[in-house]
Amino acid sequence: MSQHDERTDYTAHHNHTPAATTEHDHASEAATEHDHTAMSQDHAAPHDGTGHEGHAGHGGHGDHVGQFRRLFWIMLLLAVPVVGFSMMFSMILGYPLPGAAWVAWVSPTLGTVMYVWGGAPFLTGAVSELRARKPGMMLLIALAITVAFLASWGASLGVLHHELDFWWELALLIVIMLLGHWIEMRSLAQTTSALDSLAALLPDEAEKVAGDTTITVAPADLQVGDVVVVRPGGRVPADGRIVQGSASMDESMITGESRPVRRSAGDPVIAGTVATDSGLRVEITAIGDDTALAGIQKLVTEAQSSSSRAQRLADKAAGWLFWFALGAAAITAIVWTLVGQPDAAVIRTITVLVIACPHALGLAIPLVVSIATERAARGGVLIKDRLALESMRTVDTVLFDKTGTLTKGTPAVTAIDPVTGADADQLLAWAAAAEADSEHPLARAIVNAAKEKNLTVPRSTDFESSPAVGVRARVDGRVVQVGGPYMLEQEHATELPVADEWRGEGAIILHVLVDGQVTGALRLADEIRSESRHAVDALHERGVQVVMITGDADAVAASVAGELGIDRYFAGVRPEDKASKVKELQNEGRKVAMVGDGVNDAPALAQADVGIAIGAGTDVAIASAGVILASDDPRSVISVIELSRASYRKMKQNLWWAAGYNLLSVPLAAGVLAPVGFVLPMSVGAVLMSLSTIVVALNAQLLRRLNLSPDAVVDK
């Protein structure tokens, strides 16, 4: 850091009084302290939630959750009489039906309602898959229910054999598939919108200067050249240039830099940033889509749309089974016709097409995801996006944001250097006593350091705070001063030799004077989380490369990376560059998981193969991510990896079981064993269907045994 920057940092310290704690201009304000509570959603940008392209018509997952839930319960009620009054179902179970004429029409009538109403999502999706020439789950379901519907009507009207009365199978298939998709939509529903959260960073109103007064206008009504007033603690409504005043600007939500930056007349300011200590007059230089915040919104939108194109495992399996069913049906029809049994050809072909869509397939993935999501939540991990859960197992690079993720985002005393003959604990106790009346983050860091060491801090009197210099207080009859370089100049004192080393590491340096003599120096820096080292080591054990990205200076980044054993780091990175750094890693052929907590991380979180947000971070970061960590423990990333791998194993097992049902039942239903006198009865096919579903459900339940606590996964 330059001498100028260093002096700015120290100038910021102690520019406060006990009574005016809002006037804190300290260089190490925590990046995580963003005030979103007063932000309105009025500025919310539209977000259509089109991130589920594998199933046609599934945009807007929140709406689909309610739709599938309502549809499932309605169809379940209708399914009871459809199944109960089905002639074939009564024959399979061996119970008699009433002799009334109307009984024969209950299943056809209500079954038709179920097909048209309950089957509509699948039929619509099938049309879209056909148009896209990408057969998947929707087409497979639509094929089964359509064939079952037509065959059942044929049987009910006496046109086809009574064995083709599949009303009961049609009803059960629709109900179970709706249940599966309800579960699926619930797991895919996004709880919040990244774009809404970004827009919420803008203030609701702007104070526009009009002559000798100000008028309140909406930020959208501002024009280039307008002058606005930004009050202390207020947000800049649009990109601009300061024309009057100076303030320490909290730009962490945009740049990721953990320290407020001093901006004066002539300096640019960015929409959404906060004037922490003083009022400003700002001339607007960019509005609307030209602002930096709008640029971040665009990056998030692009990254979200590009990451949603991946085809999921279940759709691939369904596509294979669709072609398998058609092929098996065609062969069945041809063979039975050639052997001179056209009636058997019709029955066998229709039976193959109906049972080719196993109930288990509709539940294989959704059940695993639902249980995995529930299990993850108990372990402090919220899964917002199923694709993120599936992808995490293949991640070979984890990109951590520094401030607020690997570090706490707040300053802490990391080293004490007393002069010869002085005691370090005594030095810290004196400094804590002098800072006791201050609420400034650095002062709190010094006081907390003394508390952690269980030091006895003496009482202080005659507290004074001098702007740009430091604090002074009387402690045990001695005059104790704490401050930066301006204090040393004023007292004609010289900094300790260790200051050069600490400065090279990007640390903040405060000297302590006792009765005008330099007694020692304190090193303050963003405190590294104790769990970060364990997280990095655990990732290395799993063959995962660890990379750090930050808006902080290179010296700070190098110090943290060296202490944690991080493989690579990117320093001084702006938001647009964060997303490009993710792309750079992806272009190297790496599967990247990004872990962050700030607005500046949002484009990178959306661009990454898996975005993981720290739950204590900003709404924007949380909305942009597919996985959210409820705690700030970086070891939870390991929990996500373990959960992903375990879930994928269960998905494969369930899909193989569902496919195994087809591989067994379809050839038997087609009549491959007819030469030896065995053709699969529909009753046996029904039992196999049920068994397949039960096995899939029980297998998914085994996920509940997972222990996803950070301590457990790191110790594996």
- Any idea which residues carry the catalytic annotation? 401
Question: CB-based contacts of 536: which residues, under 8 Å, 6+ apart?
Answer: 546, 564, 565, 566
Q: Is 547 in contact with 578 (CB distance < 8 Å)?
A: no
CA distances 200 to 244, 291, 402, 598, 668, Å, are 26, 14, 24, 14, 60
Return the number of other C-beta atoms located less than 10 Å from residue 48's C-beta. Answer: 9
Q: Could you tell me the two tokens for 639?
A: 């929990």
Q: Could you tell me the two tokens for 134?
A: 């990408």
C-alpha to C-alpha distance for 16 and 4, rounded to whole angstroms? 21
DSSP 523-563: EEEEEEPHHHHHHHHHHHHTT-EEEEE-SS-HHHHHHHHHH
Q: Is 352 in contact with 325 (CB distance < 8 Å)?
A: yes
Q: Is 22 exposed, middle or buried (0-12, 13-18, 19+ CB in 10 A)?
A: exposed
Rg (CA), the chain: 33
CA distances 472 to 320, 464, 479, Å, are 77, 5, 7
Bridge partners for 274 per DSSP:
235, 250
Q: Is 224 in contact with 286 (CB distance < 8 Å)?
A: yes
C-alpha to C-alpha distance for 182 and 384, rounded to whole angstroms? 15
Q: At what angle do helices 575-587 and 292-307 cross, to 10 degrees?
A: 30
Nearest to 351 by CA among 177, 163, 168, 167: 163
CA distances 336 to 243, 532, 685, Å, are 88, 67, 20
Q: Is 192 in contact with 622 (CB distance < 8 Å)?
A: yes
C-alpha to C-alpha distance for 423 and 198, rounded to whole angstroms? 50
Nearest to 600 by CA among 19, 142, 34, 132: 34
Q: Could you tell me the two tokens for 707?
A: 């222990």
Nearest to 606 by CA among 628, 636, 579: 579
